[in-house]
Structure 1
Amino acid sequence: MSATEHATGLAIAAARAAADKKAEHLAAIDVSERLGLTDVFLLASGANDRHVHAIVDAVDEAMHHAGAKRRTREGFADAHWVLVDYGDVVVHVLQNEDREFYSLERLWKDCPAIELPVDLTHENRRDGDTVSGRESTAS
C-alpha cells in the first residue's frame, strides 16, 4: 500500500505553500508502509525562527483551504522543529541546523520519496539533490 492520492495532493499543496515562503530543501516521503497513523511526511527547512513561523503559518492556511484539519502542532514556540499533524500528512519544518542534525531523510531512507513538482523543488535544490529533495548517492 502506498500513500493515497488524497494524501499526496495535500502534501503537494503544503509544499507549494512552503515554497511560496521560500522554504528550502523540500522533500516528501511516503511512510504509509511503515506507519499506520499517516501516509506522508513533508520536510521543509527555514533559516531562522521567523522563517519557520512564516512557513508553518502558510502551510496551515493552505491545508485549511484544502479541507485538512490540523490535529496537533508541536514546537511552534521554539521554532527549531515544528511538527504539524493533518492526519494523512505530517509536516516537519526545521531550521537548517536542526534538519542536518536530525537527518530525517536518513531515518526514513527505506521509504519511497514522493516526487514534488519541479517548480517547487528546482530553486530549493542543493547540488547533489534529486527532485524529491533527497541527496543523491551517485558519485
Structure 2
Amino acid sequence: MPAASENAVELIQLAAAAADAKNALDPVALDVAGRLPLTDAFLLLSGRTERNVLAIAEAVEDRLLEAGVKALRREGRSEGRWVLLDFGDIVVHVFHEEDRLYYSLERLWKDCPVIPVNLPVRDAAE
C-alpha cells in the first residue's frame, strides 16, 4: 500500500507547528495515500471559536506559503466552522471543536495509518 511522501510528512510538521502557535487543539495526521489518489495526508485540527479556526487556517496557509507551497483550494472561510486547505500533497482540515466531533473524520479514516506530529515543546509559563 502506498505511503505518504516524505514531502507530505514535512508539510504536515510545518502546518502542525503553525497551527500550534495559534493554540490549535488535538492535531491528528493521517496517511491517506493508500486510499485517495489526490493527496497523501490529512491534518485534522480544532479551534475553540470561529475566530480561532480562522486564525489557525491563516497561520497554516502563511507558513506553507513561506515554504513555497501555495494552497490549491480553500473552502469554508466565510463561516469559520470548518476550513479546508488543499495543498496538493496534504489537505488541512481546521474544525470548530463541535463540528469536528460531529463529522468525526478520525472515525471515517480510522483504518489509515497515523503520522506522528512533532510539536515544539512549550514553556510551562506560556
> Which category of TM-score, normalised to the shorter sequence, fits these structures?
over 0.9
Q: Tell me, yes or no, if structure 1 residue 66 matches structure 2 residue 67.
A: yes
Aligned-CA RMSD value: 1.3
How far off is 1:66 after superposition?
A: 1.3
Q: 1:25-80 CA distances to partner (integer Å, 9 max, x unpaired)?
A: 10100000000000010000001111011000100001101111111100000011
TM-score where L is the length of structure 1: 0.84
How far off is 1:100 after superposition?
A: 0.4
Question: Which residue in the other structure is 1:16 paired with?
Answer: 17
Question: Which residue in the other structure is 1:82 paired with?
Answer: 83
Q: How does 1:1-139 map to 2 (within 5 A)?
A: 1-117=2-118, 119=120
> Matched residue of 1:9: which SS?
helix
TM-score where L is the length of structure 2: 0.93
Using the alignment, how far apart are the partners of 1:119 and 1:59 within structure 2?
15
Using the alignment, how far apart are the partners of 2:7 and 2:115 within structure 1?
13
The answer as to whether partners of 2:32 and 2:40 remain within 8 angstroms in 1 is yes
Could you tell me which runs of 5 or more consecutive residues in structure 1 were left unpaired when the two chains were aligned.
Answer: 124-139
> Matched residue of 2:17: which SS?
helix
Q: 1:92-128 CA distances to partner (integer Å, 9 max, x unpaired)?
A: 00000000011000000000000011547xx9xxxxx
Letter in 2 for 1:12: Q
Using the alignment, how far apart are the partners of 2:113 and 2:17 within structure 1?
20
> Matched residue of 1:32: which SS?
coil
The answer as to whether partners of 2:44 and 2:94 remain within 8 angstroms in 1 is yes
Letter in 2 for 1:35: L
Using the alignment, how far apart are the partners of 1:70 and 1:58 within structure 2?
12
Q: How many residues align?
A: 121
